[in-house]
Copies of this chain bind each other. A is one copy, B any other.
Amino acid sequence: MSDHAKQSLPHLRTRNDHSTELAEDYVEAIAEIAASHGSCRVVDLAKHFGVSHVTVNRTVGRLQNEGLVKTEPYKPVGLTAKGARLAVRCRERHEIVYQFLLAIGVDPQTAAIDAEGIEHHVSPATLRCFVNWSKTNASIS
């Protein structure tokens, strides 16, 4: 590989992470809201993310095209099998990142905020290291 290709590789990965970030947060939120409220409405997602219902509407439409969510006009938003699988993976990863931040001494509120952005940039290899160190610290304390 050329020198500048090595330099640009991290940025390419970061841009790719961002292109899938919204889908990951949406399926995770839809699963959570559906579990706690019985169903997930557009307005629930708008409140959850702090955006207008219009933004939610367009995003849900795109996720439906990608086969992650299923919805009909004026009906709740649900996950496809594919979307539900992605939601589980994202929920697990999110929880690992959050628990890891707690384990190294970050306060819960800051950990919750930082984890929401960090989670999408944590590769499987780094995630394994997070799990190990959370275990280690848990056994210490």
A9–B50 CA distance with the chains assembled, in angstroms: 8
A125–B122 CA distance with the chains assembled, in angstroms: 19
- Residues 73 to 132 of chain A near chain B (Cβ within 8 Å): 101, 104-107, 110-118, 120-123, 125-126, 129-130, 132
> Chain B residues near A118 (CB, 8 Å)?
118, 121-122
For chain A, the count of residues having a C-beta within 8 Å of the partner chain is 41
B104 touches A123 (CB 8 A): no
A14 touches B116 (CB 8 A): yes
Interface of A is mostly: helix
A106 touches B121 (CB 8 A): no
The oligomer's copy count stands at: 2
B114 touches A122 (CB 8 A): yes
A129 touches B104 (CB 8 A): yes
> Chain B residues near A120 (CB, 8 Å)?
117
Seed contacts A4-B47, A110-B123; 15 additional CB < 8 Å A-B pairs: A8-B48, A9-B50, A11-B25, A11-B50, A14-B117, A17-B117, A101-B126, A101-B129, A104-B132, A107-B125, A110-B125, A114-B121, A114-B122, A116-B121, A117-B120
B7 touches A47 (CB 8 A): yes
Known: A48-B7, A113-B9, A113-B13. A125 touches B104 (CB 8 A): no
Question: How many Å from the CB of A76 to the closest CB on chain B?
Answer: 17
